[in-house]
Amino acid sequence: MPRCLKTVLATLALAAPALALAQSAVLSASTTSTSTSSDKGPPIANPDTLQGRAIAIPMQSLRGDIIFGQPPEVSLNGSVARLAPGARIRDLNNLLVLSGNLVGQRYKVNYTVDTYGLLMNVWLLTAAEASRLWPTNAQEAATWSYDPVSHTWTKP
């Protein structure tokens, strides 16, 4: 593959979440155009609005408490775990962060595990996201029901 094509594809892959967020801001601004003149302009596009993150957390993820140690070591729900090579950690704004910047910090997270049992995807949660009901183990995920429209779990 030519080098210029690789560069264009990499740029598009990085720009896609920002474009989706901008599109949702434009759509929400156009739907609120009938508001009163006392408004101070269009609403600010925030990934943690009622619509949720720009990229929704998948239903296969589990909830847990994590303490970041020296990479790739972490403590997940009180037991030692490791981050997978190429693990993705997303912060409160859905941006990627490096595990080395989080050493010694504790967070409520959603996470997925790869086939080797290593943490592959980690989402740091806001207070609103952490207060929502989410399964903490595979047994809960198997017995609870998930609503894909509102991205919420309900106990039976």
For residue 45, is it within any domain?
no
For residue 33, is it within any domain?
no
* Position 27 pLDDT exceeds 80: no
DSSP secondary structure, 66-81, as one string: EEE-STTEEEETTEEE
Mean pLDDT of 99-120: 95
* Position 151 pLDDT exceeds 80: yes
Residue 121 neighbours by CB distance under 10 Å = 19
Q: What is the pLDDT of residue 28?
A: 54
Lowest mean pLDDT, pick from 1-5, 10-14, 23-27: 23-27
Mean pLDDT of 35-45: 41
For residue 30, is it within any domain?
no
For residue 151, is it within any domain?
no
| φ, ψ dihedrals at 2, nearest 5° | -60, 150
Bridge partners for 121 per DSSP: 88, 112
Residues spanned by the domain of 75 = 1-23+55-144
For residue 46, is it within any domain?
no
Over residues 75-109, the pLDDT tens digits come to 999 999 999 999 999 998 889 999 999 999 999 99
For residue 130, is it within any domain?
yes
* Position 55 pLDDT exceeds 60: yes
- Separation of alpha carbons 114 and 67, rounded Å: 19
Domain count, the chain: 1
- Separation of alpha carbons 77 and 60, rounded Å: 18
- Beta strand segments in the chain, E: 62-68, 73-76, 79-90, 96-97, 106-113, 119-124, 145-147, 152-154
Question: pLDDT class for 12, splitting at 50, 70, 90?
Answer: low
For residue 63, is it within any domain?
yes
Residues 6+ apart with CB under 8 A from 154: 133, 144, 145, 147
* Position 112 pLDDT exceeds 50: yes
Average pLDDT, the chain: 80
For residue 38, is it within any domain?
no
Evaluate whether 30 touches 42 at the Cβ level (below 8 Å). Answer: no
Nearest Cα to Cα of residue 122 among 72, 70, 47, 52: 72
